[in-house]
Amino acid sequence: MTPVLRIDLEAFDHNLRRIRAVVAPANHLLVVKDDAYGHGVGPIVRRAFEQGVRWFGAFDVETAAAVRAEAGGSARIFAWMVATDDEIAAAIDLDLDLGVGDPGLLDEVARIARAAGARAKVHLKIDTGLHRNGIRPEEWDAALLRAREHQDDGVLEVVGVWSHLAEASDAEDDAAAAVFDAAVQSAVDAGFHIRLRHLSASAASFLRPVFRHDIVRVGAFAYGIRPSGGPDESELGVRPISTLSARVIAVEGDRVRIGIGALHGLPSSLAGRVAVGTPVGMRPLVGIGAMESTVERWREALVGDEVVIFGAGGPSATDLAEAIDTIGEEIAVRVSPLVGREWL
Ligand SMILES: *Cc1c(COP(=O)(O)O)cnc(C)c1O
């Protein structure tokens, strides 16, 4: 009796429609890093493509290759963690949109594209204050000059400018957006035709309309994961798409044991802090072991009863996250490959 993660693809469709309606006319780039936040990159990309999604955010080249295999040549795939020569070569071969946040990397991309006889599509990243890679504002104009030379040589084209917001406070995000706007303006002044500006992830794309620009990079809300401490699913108009459940494997005294534990991806700090869904309602999660956990017993409990750790009939992933000061994405991506996936 192994635990299972059920993924409701109709709820996923609903979220994709909702995101499209909210962010239009901006395009939705669906972020599928970390195996589509644990939901399975293959089935998620296939479904999203059927639903009309044409932009995917892959993070690394390995994920990008999986997206290309599912979605085919017409999808645009953005990857922003490309560092080694082999990764750059593979990225060019896969015709990816490359996020470049380092002037040195720009030269590498140009060199490898030249050797391949290709023209790389580049999105330059400005560091707007997050200091998580990105070209520093004081280096931006020099980087534009370098990019200009490479573009004139025909080995790359700067198609976009992008950055990432901290989403910690509106004031910080406003300051970051001002740096971003100035960087875009400099690129335009330098003669680039910047068609793709992107800054926002889930929260900002819903809550800060002026930050939407041409593309929003949305992961969490597509999977129905609400922000910690933020608006709930009904206010956002999205639905959780996955349910993690396990079965009762023993009934003992005032506890039941269920067949899921830390090795399946349950953070052990959840023990004693949350309640999970049982056939008679929510019951405290008492302890978390390696492969099993314990839940407070309900009177009629039987071996084989289903207990919902998160999802329909239980708490949400973000409810769990809030109990241990993290974010719902973290709960979702920690669900181990030991847990079977079912796509419904
Ligand atoms: C993960 C990620 C996103 C998506 O963030 P969500 O809050 O899950 O929508 C967007 N952009 C970048 C650069 C990311 O790393």
Whether ligand 1 lies within 6 angstroms of the CB of 23 is answered as no
21 CB-near residues (< 8 Å, 6+ apart): none
Quote the distance between the C-alpha of residue 173 and its chain's center: 19
Return d(Cα 38, Cα 329) in angstroms, integer. 9
The model carries a pTM of 0.96
Structure tokens at 293: 């956990």
* pLDDT tens across the length of the chain (344 residues): 689 999 999 999 999 999 999 999 999 999 999 999 999 999 999 999 999 999 999 999 999 999 999 999 999 999 999 999 999 999 999 999 999 999 999 999 999 999 999 999 999 999 998 777 899 999 999 999 999 999 999 999 999 999 999 888 899 999 999 999 999 999 999 999 999 999 999 999 999 999 999 999 999 999 999 998 889 999 999 999 999 999 999 999 999 999 999 999 999 999 999 999 999 999 999 999 999 999 999 999 999 999 999 999 999 999 999 999 999 999 999 999 999 999 99
Q: List Cα–Cα distances, 134 to 127, 129, 202, 240, in angstroms.
A: 4, 9, 20, 32
For residue 29, which of 201, 167, 210 has the smallest C-alpha distance? 201
* Rounded distance from Cα 197 to ligand 1 centre (Å): 15
Residue ID of nearest Cα to ligand 1 atom 15 = 59
CA 31 / ligand 1 centre spacing (Å): 6
Nearest CA to ligand 1 atom 3: 201
